Amino acid sequence: MNRKLIAGNWKMNLNVKESVHLAKTVAAGVSNLKDPNADVLICPAFLSLEQCGKTLKDSPVMLGAQDVCANDEGAYTGEISSAMLLSAGCEFVIIGHSERRKYYCETNETVNLKVKKALERGLKPVMCVGETLQERQDEIFEAIVGEQITEGLKEVSEDQLNFVTIAYEPVWAIGTGVNATPKQASDMHLFIRRKLSQLCSSGTAEAVRILYGGSVNAKNAKEILAAKGIDGALVGGASLKAEDFLTIISAC
Ligand code: 13P
């Protein structure tokens, strides 16, 4: 069984001052837990990363970004490179979140370019996959997620897979208050793990952490995190409230 990872995706919320305050509160809360049963990651907006990185300097709480450019540097107005994220103290980066796929037209191909670039530069990608409600109703969710996994991880070596985390986030469960049942999530995690084992040895596939995301909150976290094959959670809304986020961490 993998050590759990609880990650907070703050999305486009909080200014720098508010982000630093929340980072500080989470870090203090995690220190108070003494020996938490999980690794903890927060992913603030780009603008707040550097200050949050400073705040987390002596804390076990890790820092991640919510996206990264697939290029190294140059004329890409508005983009942020892997090197910039590393210099701000990031260890992780979320890639291919469904909101980026939906609103910014990211495809499995762009996700793959970003994953490869992040790995090449020493960032750990949290690659998001998940089906829409229509795809679930049409019963093609395994085909969709399977393709997101194989296309997103194309040309990623077995060595590099050791630094990859997958987040299964069914689109219909994000921000809706309707979480996947532990059985639905568990079944998909087992499916994803089988897909991974087609790309690498079973040992490596077992060691890749697969997080569940979609309406995880302080009330349902325990049940979801106890389900088979679930190595943690990628939390949106509930990660903006320190108390709720700490409750989710304690549920591990
Ligand atoms: P919610 O927890 O707000 O449903 O968001 C999930 C998510 O998108 C995390 O990346």
Q: Where are the domains of the chain?
A: 4-250
24-72 per-position pLDDT tens digit:
999 999 999 978 899 999 999 999 999 999 999 999 999 999 999 999 9
Residues 251/38, Cβ–Cβ less than 8 Å:
no
Pull the structure tokens for residue 115: 């994953």
**pLDDT (tens digit per residue) in 82-134:** 999 999 999 999 999 999 999 999 999 999 999 999 999 999 999 999 999 99
189 is catalytic: no
The residue to mutate among 93, 103, 174, having the most atoms of ligand 1 within 8 angstroms of its beta carbon, is 174
CA of 44 to the centre of ligand 1 (A): 13
Q: What mean pLDDT do residues 171-196 have?
A: 96
Mark whether 147 is an active-site residue.
no
pTM: 0.98
Which residue puts its alpha carbon closest to atom 1 of ligand 1? 236
Count CA atoms closer than 13 A to 201's CA, side-chain side: 7
Ligand 1 center to 157 CA (angstroms): 29
Residue 101: strand, helix, or coil? helix
Position 35 scores a pLDDT of 82
194 vs 126: CA distance, rounded Å: 18
Asked if residues 68 and 35 have their Cβ atoms less than 8 Å apart, the reply is no
The listed CATH number (3.20.20.70, 3.40.50.2000, 3.40.50.300, 3.20.20.150) that belongs to domain 4-250:
3.20.20.70
